[in-house]
Amino acid sequence: MSRLARVRALAGITGAQLWHDRTRTVLAVLGVAMAVLASVLLVSVGAGVVETGQQKFDQSGRDLWVTGGPVQLRPGSVGGFQNSLVGAHDLADSIENHEAVSTAVPMTFQTVYASANTSEFRTVVAVGAPARGPSVTITEGRPFQYRDVHYGDGNYSGPMTYEAVLNERAADLLGVSVNDTVHVGGTLAAARQHEFRVVGISPTYSRFVGAPTATLHLSELQELVGTTASDRATFISVRLTDGASVTAVERDLATRYPEYTVRTNRDQLEATLQDQAVVLVSGASLVALAVLAGVLLLLNLQLSFVTRHRERFGAVKATGVSGTSLLVLVGCNAVCIGLLGGVVGVALAVPSLWGVNYVAEAVTGFQGLVTVSPAILLGGLGLAVAVSCLGGIVAGVYLARMRVLPALRSE
C-alpha cells in the first residue's frame, strides 16, 4: 500500500470513529472550544486595556507625568481620595520654568455630590483641570472662559468663576444640558451652597476615569473639598516644547525633584497596570485553568478511547498493522478534535466579545475596551491544536506501552 493510500485510509478510519462516538466527540470538541474561548476573551481584554490606555495617554497631548506617590482612598472623607502631591501650584510653576517644558498643569480627581435641584444628589468624579486650550475637545457649548482666577496670587482670594464642563454621562445622569446649573460640593451642605453653570460638554477628562465627570477649575474644586491649605493634586501633566527629548527631560526633572516620580506616558500606563496586579494575575490564572481543564478533559477522553478499544487495536495489530500506524490513528483523532474545537471556540469568540464590550462599557464607561486581532484568533486556534496534540501524544504513548495482544487473547 502506498503512503498516500495509507494516509487516506487512516483519515477515513478517524472520521468513522469520530462519527461513531458522537457523544465523546461533542464533549471533547466543547472542552477544547471552552479553553480556546476563555483564552481568546481574556487575552483580548488584556490587549484592549493596554491599547485603550495607551490611546488615552497619547490623546492627552502630554509627555510627562509628575506624581508624589500613590493616591490613597479615604472612605467617608470629603472627596474620598488623599492626593499625595502637596504644593501643586508652586511645583507646577517651578517645572514650567524648565527650558524644555511648554506647560505644566496640576490636576486632581475627587468624588463630589452633584444635583440639578438640591434634592436628588448623585456622586460623580470631579476633575480639577483647565477645560480650555487645544488639548480639550468641546462637543457642545464652550470651554472655560477664564483661567483659574480664584487661585489669584496663591492665596485662593480671587473670585470663583462657577463654570463647569460635564461629559455626556454626567449630563444625562443629572438631567442637564449646556447653560443649565448644577450644585456641586464635597459634602451635601457644600453642594447646596455652590451652584455652577454648565458651559460645555466634553469627553476629554472622562477618558482617564470612564465615569460621569464634572470638570472644574483646580482651585475651585480644592475649595469645595477643603484642600486649599495643602494645595493637593493627583499629578502634574507636562507638555514639552517641540523637538525636546522626552527621555532627557524625564531624567533631568527626576534629578531636580527626587522626592517626586516622573514618568513618560508609557511608564505611567505601566504603573497603572502594576496597581492592578491582582486583577491581572487573576486573569492569567483563569486562562491557565481554562487551558488545563481543556487538556485534562481531552486527555481523559483520549485515554478512555484507547482503553475502550484496546481489543480492536490488538486485533488490528495482529493483522500486521504497524504500531506507527496506530499512533498516527490516535494522533489524527486528537488533531481533528482540536481543530474542530478551535474553530468552534474562535467562532464563539467574536459574538462573545460584543457581549463583553457591552458589559465593560456599562461598568467602566469605556467604549470598545475589548479588542480582538487576527493574531489572537490564530493563537486560539494554535492553542487548540497544541492541546489536542498533547492529548494525542500522551494517548499514543499509553497505547504503545499497552500490551494489547495479551488482552486480546484473554477475551
Cα 410 to Cα 304, 320, 407, distances in angstroms:
20, 20, 5
Q: Which residue has the cell 502634574?
A: 236
Closest residue by Cα to residue 45 from 397, 297, 335, 376: 376
Compute the half-sphere exposure of residue 180: CA atoms within 13 Å on the CB side of its CA. Answer: 18
d(CA 80, CA 82): 7
Sign of the four-CA dihedral 61, 65, 66, 72: positive
Q: DSSP code of 156?
A: S
Are 124 and 131 spatial neighbours (Cβ–Cβ below 8 Å)? no
Of 223, 232, 230, nearest to 157 by C-alpha is 223
Q: Is this prediction's pTM over 0.85?
A: no
**Dist. CA 229–CA 231, nearest whole Å:** 6
243 phi and psi angles, rounded to 5 deg: 85, -5
Is 117 within 8 Å of 103 (Cβ atoms)? Answer: no
The predicted structure's pLDDT at residue 27:
73
What are the distances in angstroms from CA 277 to CA 11, 75, 232, 274, 360?
Answer: 47, 22, 27, 5, 19
Q: Tell me how far the alpha carbon of residue 352 is from its chain's centroid.
A: 16
Q: Which residues are 113's β-sheet partners?
A: 123, 185
Per-residue model confidence (pLDDT) at position 164: 95
Return d(Cα 197, Cα 216) in angstroms, integer. Answer: 10
321: enclosing H helix or E strand: none
What's the pLDDT score for residue 208?
Answer: 72
Per-residue pLDDT of the chain (411 residues; tens, 9 = 90+): 455 555 555 555 555 555 556 676 777 777 778 777 777 777 777 666 656 555 555 555 577 888 886 655 454 455 555 677 888 899 998 998 989 988 888 989 888 999 998 888 999 999 998 888 777 889 999 999 888 889 877 788 889 999 999 999 999 999 999 999 999 998 898 999 999 999 999 988 877 777 889 999 999 999 998 888 888 888 898 888 888 888 899 899 989 998 888 887 776 655 555 554 444 555 566 666 666 766 666 667 666 766 666 666 666 665 555 656 666 667 677 777 778 888 888 888 877 777 776 666 665 555 566 667 778 788 888 877 777 777 777 777 766 666 655 554 544
3-state secondary structure 91-148: HHHHHHCCCCEEEEEEEEEEEEEEECCCCCCEEEEEEECCCCCCCCCCCEECCCCCCC
